[in-house]
Amino acid sequence: MNWGSFEKLLRGINQYSTAFGRIWLSLVFIFRLLVYLVAAERVWSDDHKDFDCNTRQPGCTNVCFDHFFPISHIRLWALQLILVTCPSFLVLMHVAYREAKEQRLREASGDNYRRIYPNPGKKRGGLWWTYLFSLIFKAGVDMVFLYVFYHLYKNYTLPRVVKCELPPCPNVVDCFISRPTEKNIFTLFMVVTACVCIVLSLIEVAYLIGKRCRKR
Q: Do the Cβ atoms of 85 and 191 come closer than 8 Å?
A: no
pTM more than 0.85? no
Q: Alpha carbon of 74 to those of 13, 18, 42, 81, 193: distances in Å?
A: 26, 30, 10, 11, 15
* Domain assignments of the chain as residue spans, ordered by start: 3-214
Q: Among 1.20.1440.80, 3.30.300.250, 1.25.40.10, 3.20.20.150, what is the CATH number of 3-214?
A: 1.20.1440.80
Give dist(CA 108, CA 74) in Å, integer.
51
- pLDDT tens profile 34-77: 888 777 777 777 777 778 888 888 888 889 988 888 888 888 88
Amino acid at 45: S
- pLDDT tens profile 99-140: 787 777 777 776 666 666 666 667 777 888 888 999 999 999
